């Protein structure tokens, strides 16, 4: 089965929940209203469905290869990337001053979901380039920006992010790659970086590596880390490519999933040192790199939604085609397609509800990002920035964990055939696992949510979100529908559970840090499930209103049913999560270490 982009659902969320017309009212996005979004999404869907999606299975069977220091990507990737770049997709959300289209993140996020659904291994290259662009826009000098941004944005060059070293995974204070200052104000880089996505490939003329390194004599720990631009090929004064830099791929990893995406081990400085230029100021590299990280973390959350959508579509198609057993309700007198069986429908509804809930949460967050950067009122910008920052760990953490669950259900729907690689269902499960790990594991997202996003401000942003949820509950209770009343009840219970945990974190964070952080991942799941449920509640009301107006009745009825399912089968887990966090922390740490 081929991939079909869920354009209708994306546009529904943009219009009814994310407020695309309000985004288009911002001066920076004056031409980016609903009609523009619809046109862009339709074109993105064509490219993703017709060109990129057919390469997904091929990439799993025939992944990137490494020989004699060179990486060759899957057949078809190079031509697909050329079409992607020539279509302007790399520059969709980036400034027109550097050749981009300057569209809001809201539109870019939907297009990003499509390309990741089509082929996640392929989409990782643009994702890393987006992060490099964001970092240079924020901290690069005018000369660095004019040298690198146009080529990154038009896809002539790509970007990579170099953090991890053999001894330094999540703990970047252990980075040992060194940078030696030179008389001409450049630096020479020496060291080894691992897990570098698209750190070497054949899709573009040059690769612009952004590298964390420690300047000789810098302080120990994270305070002594700087960020450098270190291109594969040096760039001449006229902007053309110069000599090959002293950075080389020495191997690529053999991975469980995303096999077509080359994950490189890069060696810097075997022949005198890799020439690099400093980004911003010395010893502020981690601060700048987190700009890339935050962009990438949101992007990885979108990858989770994308993969869940693809797994759901495949499972639905199989369930329609696979004939097995008579339905228990007697609706057929002979064996029928398994989509008739209640438990198969439960699995498909679970997949669908999770995906739509996380999509709604992510696109609403993207609209907040746009307002945070482009609204003329400083206070509105501040409020939206706080909301967006709270959302990032939820989008990354919940969406990726749910993608693993959804992909697993997809295999289950296929039964024994799901365990056979040729059906393709297993690829989504293997690909999904990395999403909960890279760009910060789920536990790291949860620690960020507890410490920085909830504890630091005493829970102010969390409680402000809860107040908005409560207002939605009130609107639901005014509705005559059973679905609305049920959603109000479930949403109210989830909100109360969420607030209980916020109180627990803010009152016990200093006195019992072990107890608080023992529940950090369940808190992330609780917060994300509640916020996604809030968006599904808003979707339910919008769908009821559109249905009453006679707009696209089949779609609106399906949205109402999906929202009701989310309330009764997903949102109702919030209270159990609350209990495990507030009442269950002691059991997490009670076991003596030697007893494990």
Active site amino acids: 439
d(CA 135, CA 132) in angstroms, rounded, equals 5
Rg (CA), the chain: 24
440-477 b/e (C-beta count within 10 Å ≥ 16 → b): bbbebbbbbbbbebbbeeebebbbebbeebeebbeebe
d(CA 260, CA 120) in angstroms, rounded, equals 9
354-377 b/e (C-beta count within 10 Å ≥ 16 → b): bbbbbbbbbbbbbbbbbbbbbbee
Contact predicate 47/3, CB 8 Å = no
Q: Residue 229: which of 203, 206, 253, 251 has the closest Cα?
A: 206
Sign of the Cα torsion 410, 411, 412, 415 reads positive
d(CA 316, CA 269) in angstroms, rounded, equals 51
Tokens (6 digits) for 30: 């004056």
Helices (H), 199-266: none
Q: Which residues contact 174 (CB under 8 A, 6 or more apart)?
A: 165, 167, 168
Tally of residues, the chain: 596
How many CB atoms sit inside 10 A of residue 335's CB?
12
Distance of CA 181 to the CA centre of its chain: 36
Question: Rounded to 5 degrees, what are φ and ψ at 236?
Answer: -75, 170
How many CB atoms sit inside 10 A of residue 578's CB?
24
């Amino acid at each position: 089965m081929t991939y079909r982009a869920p354009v209708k659902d994306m546009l529904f969320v943009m219009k009814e929940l994310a407020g695309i017309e309000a985004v288009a009212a911002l001066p920076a996005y004056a031409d980016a209203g609903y009609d523009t979004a619809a046109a862009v999404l339709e074109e993105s869907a064509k490219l993703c469905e017709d060109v990129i999606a057919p390469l997904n299975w091929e990439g799993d069977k025939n992944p990137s290869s490494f020989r004699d220091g060179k990486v060759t990507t899957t057949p078809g990737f190079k031509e697909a990337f050329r079409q992607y770049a020539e279509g302007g997709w790399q520059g969709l959300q980036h400034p027109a001053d550097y050749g981009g289209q300057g569209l809001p993140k809201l539109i870019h996020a939907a297009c990003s979901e499509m390309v990741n659904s089509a082929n996640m291994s392929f989409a990782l290259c643009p994702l890393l380039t987006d992060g490099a662009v964001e970092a240079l826009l924020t901290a690069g000098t005018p000369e660095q920006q004019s040298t690198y941004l146009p080529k990154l944005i038009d896809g002539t060059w790509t970007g990579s992010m170099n953090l991890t070293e053999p001894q330094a995974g999540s703990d970047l204070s252990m980075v040992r790659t060194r940078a030696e200052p030179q008389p001409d104000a450049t630096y020479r880089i020496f060291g080894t970086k691992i897990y570098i996505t698209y750190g070497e490939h054949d899709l573009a003329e040059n690769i612009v590596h952004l590298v964390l390194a420690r300047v000789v004599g810098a302080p120990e720990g994270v305070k002594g880390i700087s960020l450098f631009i270190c291109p594969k090929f040096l760039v001449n004064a006229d902007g053309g490519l110069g000599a090959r830099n002293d950075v080389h791929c020495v191997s690529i990893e053999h991975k469980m999933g995303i096999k077509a995406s080359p994950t490189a081990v890069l060696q810097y400085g075997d022949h005198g040192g890799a020439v690099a230029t400093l980004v911003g100021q010395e010893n502020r590299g981690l601060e700048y790199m987190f700009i890339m990280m935050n962009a990438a973390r949101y992007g990885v959350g979108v990858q989770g939604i994308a993969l869940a959508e693809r797994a759901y579509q495949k499972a639905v198609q199989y369930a329609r085609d696979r004939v097995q057993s008579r339905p228990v309700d007697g609706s057929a007198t002979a064996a029928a397609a398994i989509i008739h069986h209640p438990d198969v429908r439960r699995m498909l509804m679970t997949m669908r509800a999770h995906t739509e809930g996380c999509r709604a949460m992510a696109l609403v967050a993207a609209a907040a990002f746009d307002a945070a950067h482009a609204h003329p009122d400083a206070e509105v910008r501040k409020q939206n920035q706080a909301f967006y920052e709270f959302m990032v760990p939820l989008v990354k953490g919940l969406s990726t964990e749910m993608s693993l669950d959804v992909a697993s259900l997809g295999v289950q729907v296929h039964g024994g055939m799901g365990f056979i690689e040729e059906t393709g269902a297993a690829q989504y499960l293997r690909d999904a696992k990395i999403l909960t790990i890279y760009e910060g594991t789920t536990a790291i997202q949860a620690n960020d949510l507890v410490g920085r996003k909830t504890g630091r401000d005493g829970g102010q942003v969390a409680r402000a979100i809860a107040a908005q949820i409560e207002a939605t509950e009130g609107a639901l209770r005014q509705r005559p529908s059973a679905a609305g009343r049920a959603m109000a009840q479930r949403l109210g219970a989830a909100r109360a559970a969420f607030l209980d945990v916020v109180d627990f974190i803010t009152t016990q964070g200093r006195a019992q840090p072990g107890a608080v952080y023992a529940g950090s991942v369940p808190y992330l799941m609780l917060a994300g499930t509640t916020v996604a449920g809030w968006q599904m509640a808003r979707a339910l009301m919008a769908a009821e209103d559109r249905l009453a107006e006679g707009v696209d009745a089949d779609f609106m009825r399906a949205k109402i049913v999906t929202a009701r399912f989310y309330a009764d089968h997903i949102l109702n887990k919030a209270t159990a999560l609350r209990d495990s966090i507030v009442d269950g922390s002691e059991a997490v740490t009670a076991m003596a270490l030697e007893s494990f």
